[in-house]
Amino acid sequence: MTSTIDPKTIGRPTRPRRHVRSLTGFLPEKDAAGKEKWPRGDEKEWRSALRGLDTDVGSITKSVVHHVQTSLARQPHNLDDLGAYQAAALSVRDNLILNWNETQLQYTRKAPKRAYYLSLEFLMGRTLDNALLNLGLKDEYKDGIKRLGFSIEDILEQERDAALGNGGLGRLAACYLDSSASQELPLWGYGLRYKYGIFQQLISPEGNQLEAPDPWLEHQNPWELPRLDVVYDVRFYGQAERLDGKGRAQWTGGQEVLAIAYDVMIPGYGTQTTNNLRLWESRPKRGFDLNSFNAGNYEGAVESSNSAEAITSVLYPNDHTTFGKELRLKQQYFWTAASLADILRRFKNLDKPITEFPEYAAIQLNDTHPTLAIPELMRVLIDEEELDWNTAWGIVTNTFFYTNHTVLPEALEKWPVPLIEHVLPRHMQIIYDIVSLRSFFLTRTLSDASSSRTSVERKFPHDRERLARMSLIEEGQPKQVRMAHLACIGSRKVNGVAELHSDLVRTTILKDFVEFEGISKFGNVTNGITPRRWLDQCNPELSALISKTLKLDKTVWLKDLTKLEGLLPFTEDKAFCKEWAAIKQRNKERLAHHVELTLGLKVNTNALFDVQIKRLHEYKRQTLNILGVIHRYLTLKNMTPAKRKKVVNRVVFFAGKAAPAYYIAKLTIRLIVNVARIINADPDTKDHLTLYFLPDYSVSLAEVLIPASNISQHISTAGTEASGTSNMKFCLNGGLLLGTVDGANIEIAEEVGESNVFFFGHLTPAVEDLRFQHLYHPVPLEQKCPALAHVLNQVSAGLFGDGHVYEPLLNTVRQGDYYLLSDDFDSYIAALGMVDEAYSDSEEWVKKSIRTTAKMGKFSSDRAINEYAESYWNIEKVPVTK
């Protein structure tokens, strides 16, 4: 499909801005002395209208009933729990909208520098409970809903998790949005409005993971506001023709897709500040082709529509196919192009020179997914704003910031050059221009941009290997664009997400860039979590106990988590310890109730609860965990009944999704499910060891699992986990940590004390040497780790079903063992034994639990977001007052 649209209009609003006016006769005017004069009526009445809605119980019930009758068009006497949820949500949203409008008005008036967080995932979880918490209206709505004949607990269960993410990357982004609003920082998030998200996970009778669409938008989503007037054109394919020797080009033809904005309000806790998450939906520029339809070509009539809408259908389409790979690239460009167009439009409303753009906007790239924003901003500045190359590059490299989330080579994004040339021909030209050293490595001070340039070749003459390592283009068939390198050179600062990870980034994957540009550009911001959702919301009894014990309102310590250290003296208070343990027990019973409702299985709540919940990946080593469970099972089988009675009873929980094309991860799930079938039915051991795989892992499921854990497992191969945030959530809720010396585990141990953590395994410096030995000096598994060899042999022999099915999984350990399961297995089993021994002393275990929670103040996302604001984005708080 070709187009004659002026290329300068691409990325600009497709509809003219309407003339806007204020509500005359409503807002106050100022007299000559500067005093407000309120029109037509009492000042108190008008201020009440401006302040917002009444939030007493009576007003809340009226508001809910109003939405039942008008928004839902239903009768109050004919309403189910879903309808009650929707009406209550719309009622709460009314309050959010007023705060949201006031926040945006404040930003418009003060014109502060703003930050924008670009993330392909935002794992928001359920919104109603969180909104009530942040608005301070939980009790009022609980009473109001009860007065209407419903239970707040029942209607909260009606909400489906927003399917906008998969794992820690998306949940981190959600926590940062919560913290930015709570800290009154002007920050917006930008993402995609996936129709189906990643997938709904089902488990077949054989134990296989099955993927089904997740229709989370099946019912009205009360938390989003369609912005049908905020629409941008995004182009794909076509031709890019150079115009002159200054780097400009004209991009024409191809396919045009509309980006439609949907806004999700993000309320702050204990503040009126309400920030925004803007999500983009893709729609066709020209949808239904009536001529094709009339000619009998029904498929052709909707082809354009289907092609456009596919862009925002599914999170992470399978890129093992050509179609899937192209679709993922289109997703990333569509999202970044629309977001940049929106950010630039907002900046231009300030009537400032485009060279001042970095003084008003800081854009954070959450991993490499949004990296195409760098050449896209260059395209806009050069082709549309007609800036010279050096000035444009100076703006770009003062605007972007890049967070790296992995040092695994296979996880660092690369895109084939021919694919980018096909889908985004103009952007490939710009990337080649960067490679050509015309702009590569310019200083980042705009005043110096035109005169001072230092190339890698000048600084390291004749070092061809270094040039090849640092190039944006990786040679091969086909050539690949290294997105991490592009993100690095196009950003003002680069950070890792834990001290160990940031050090590894500086000394491994980006070492050459550190040596060239200097270490000051490469920093660390250890991840954090929001204590509002991950303590107060998911563990309200513990939150209430903390408030009562510290004699502090929760609005104080939930925004200053270091206050938890005040719990330390109470480890010697027997009454407090008893109450702490009782809350943990009730949380375990709540989880057991969930398992019984969803799986029809009973759980022994008097056992130790051992939890590992993460996306399935070899480096996270769920395989090590399940092999450890099998080892425990075999050990129990060999014990006499008298000895079994002396062991610590254990219930093991797994939850997490495997990528649809990740065969080994899916085999791990199958093994877990089938091991559970055998050991849960074995009369010799079922009182001492049981195992559960909980399908369709989500934020809401995590909110049940995390408060119930006694121990949680974070057992990645040393040096592979960037940070982890689930480790922080478990520890904040008094669950002890079993893990490797990796990621944020290290910093957690530094805070809570290593006596309250169970570490095992080889350290990061030894990992590469061990892999070298596996490759060049392999030792038979039976000789190296007899216990593990026995476990694998039992699986192969068919103890848990057809052993041949698991051979590809078992061979990852027997042959090569890249993630060092055989090296760490004995140490892992010993650590599990240490857990048993510690848990046997129930009084000391409770003290360890209290100490762990008390020392988690560092790991609040409030601390992390303030570090970004002060040391990276240079943005300041903008309090909202009415």
Phi and psi at residue 321, to the nearest 5°: -115, 160
Question: Strands 361-366 and 274-284: what pairing?
Answer: unpaired
Active-site residue, selected from the candidate residues 330, 369, 584, 615: 615
Marked catalytic residue, from 93, 405, 554, 714 = 405
**Residue of 725, 740, 852, 853 with catalytic role:** 725
> Quick one: tokens of 334?
């569509």
- Reported as half-sphere exposure (CB side, CA atoms, 13 A), residue 26 has a value of 7
- SS3 (DSSP) at 343: helix
3-state class (DSSP) for residue 495: strand
Q: Which residue has 């229709």 as its token pair?
A: 215
- Taking the CB of residue 51, how many other CB atoms lie within 10 A of it? 12
State how far the Cα of 828 lies from the Cα of 845, in Å rounded to an integer: 20
Q: Cβ distance 620 to 740 under 8 Å?
A: no
Which residue among 285, 614, 666, 774 is the active-site one?
614
Rounded CA-CA distance 513/469 in Å is 10
Task: Yes or no: say if 854 and 568 are a contact pair by the CB < 8 Å rule.
Answer: yes
Of 93, 114, 379, 729, the active-site residue reads 729
Q: Is beta strand 224-236 parallel, antiparallel or unpaired with respect to 239-242?
A: unpaired
Residue 385 is encoded by which pair of tokens?
Answer: 């704003």
Helix (H), strand (E), coil (C) string for 599-642 = HCCCCCCCCEEEEEECCCCHHHCHHHHHHHHHHHHHHHHCCCHH
646 is catalytic: no
Residues ≥6 apart with Cβ < 8 Å to 438:
247, 389
* Strand 757-760 to 736-740 pairing: parallel
Which amino acid makes up residue 827? S
Pair 179, 268: CB distance under 8 Å? no
DSSP helix/strand/coil, 881: coil
Quick one: which of 678, 707, 585, 1 has its CA closest to 304?
1
φ, ψ at 115 (rounded to 5°) = -110, 150
CB neighbours of 183 closer than 8 A, spacing ≥ 6? 268, 862, 865, 866, 869, 877
Catalytic residue list contains 620: yes
Residue 488 CA to residue 830 CA, distance in Å, equals 41
Name the catalytic one among 501, 617, 620, 650.
620
* Residue 882 structure tokens: 């009415």
Q: How many CB atoms lie within 10 A of CB 345?
A: 15
Instruction: Report which residue type is found at 391.
Output: T
Q: Number of H helices and number of E strands within the chain?
A: 37, 24
Task: Provide the 10 A C-beta neighbour count for residue 555.
Answer: 13
* 322 Cβ contact partners less than 8 Å away, ≥ 6 residues apart: none
- Burial string for 253-281 (b: 16+ CB within 10 Å, else e) reads bbbbbbbbbbbbbbbbbbbbbbbbbbbbb
Among this protein's residues, is 414 annotated catalytic?
no
Count CB neighbours of 765 within 10 A. Answer: 9
| Angle formed by the axes of helices 574-599 and 540-550, nearest 10° | 170
Residue 462 annotated as catalytic: no
Q: Of 502, 504, 469, which is closest to residue 485 (Cα–Cα)?
A: 469
Paired tokens of 290: 């009536």
Query: Of all helices (H) and strands (E), which one includes residue 265?
Result: strand 255-267
Q: What is the C-alpha to C-alpha distance for residues 804 and 808, in angstroms, rounded to an integer?
A: 8
Q: What are residue 500's phi and psi, to 5 degrees? A: -65, -45
Helix 81-110 with 138-147: angle, nearest 10 deg: 150
Q: Which DSSP helix (H) or strand (E) runs through 63?
A: helix 57-69
Residues tagged active-site: 405, 614-615, 620, 725, 729
